[in-house]
Structure 1
Amino acid sequence: MQFWDMDRKIGYARVSTVGQTLDLQIKSLKAAGCERIFKEKASGADAQRVELRRMLKSLKGGDTVVVTRIDRLARSTFDLFGIVREITEKKAQFYSLAEPWADTGTSTGRLMLAVLGGLADVERDLIRNRTAEGRARAIEQGRHMGRPRQITEAQRREIVIRRKEGERLKSIADAFGISDSTVSRIASGKDSYVPRKLADMV
């Protein structure tokens, strides 16, 4: 367990509903030596949580983000990998109290991150396939596809990745049922769409 030697321990505590309490998580994080704890009552499916974003923005090299359980950070493998990658890109580390193997300061933890990356790719492909299948069904049923639809945060990240990999605007637009200009705005970070569940799209 290497995270104790890092410069700062930053705790992140989350529950899904207002009626739930953060007390046990906060107690555990304080016992782990966390100097600052970001607290949130929000769904783990939302990767754009306010306190999560604040926590990530505050990170410096040598910090360690500590959670009581991995699912406090994210619900999906895709989002978990994205968040942990953001942490490590800032030269910080991630550690879960309930899952000691989830320690990016160790070789085992780094292997875990690599595995997460592979699983995230699988999840990304599943999202891509479901989106394409949903669009094909809609076209087959004669639905009007002209108006751009709101898409999920995971799909926005998928669009950014595919664009960075050099895929054409039209190809991406056709896959998600949106316009070329919408793809361009998303890829450049200028879109104003509000995320919603993937189930609404397929």
Structure 2
Amino acid sequence: MFVRAYLRASTSAQDAYRARQALGAFAAHHHQKIASYYSENASGASPNRVELRRLLADAYAGDVLLVESIDRLSRLPTDDWKRLRTKIDAKGLRVVALDLPTSHAAMQKTPGDDFTFRMLDAINAMMLDMMAAIARKDYEQRRERQAQGIEKAKAEGRYRGRPINPALHRRVSELLDAGLSIRKVAQHAQCSTSTVQRVKSMNLE
């Protein structure tokens, strides 16, 4: 079994070390080794990702495409996601995500009888599409909340242009969603605590 791990970070400041460790530990738990890592800084809403294309070009039928979560693989609109799924399926890749338990059976060297394997495969395909749709909806809701926050600030005379750059905003939002404290977020994102607090308040509006 050849396991190819894909790590995607939204910004150049984002450190994929934690995700790499999590994927390595997961593979080891299933008595597998990650043969190749593909890491890049790109938005999951973009279909043009160099390292993901390279992974697909390198892959062979039966390989595992391992990701930490489905949103690391895709926050794509429906049509773009369908095109990516078609490429993955055409390569014969099996997608395994840490947050998708139905996919974990693909890490087993002997998946069991054919009927069970096919049933799990069908369930996993359905769940994969569902979680990709949820990831896209989350992305759109984030953007909508940001736009609403800006409009509210404009109406109240508080808006002075973009308070921070969009890439940093996304990075701070992701760290906040991960449950880190304001101080820890500031350290990881390399920004001030006031910037983190400003992003947090905008996300809550």
- Structure 2 length as normaliser, TM-score? 0.49
The structure with the largest helix share of the pair is 2
Q: Could you say which structure has the greater relative contact order, defined with CA pairs below 8 angstroms and 6 or more residues apart?
A: 2
Normalised TM-score (structure 1) = 0.49
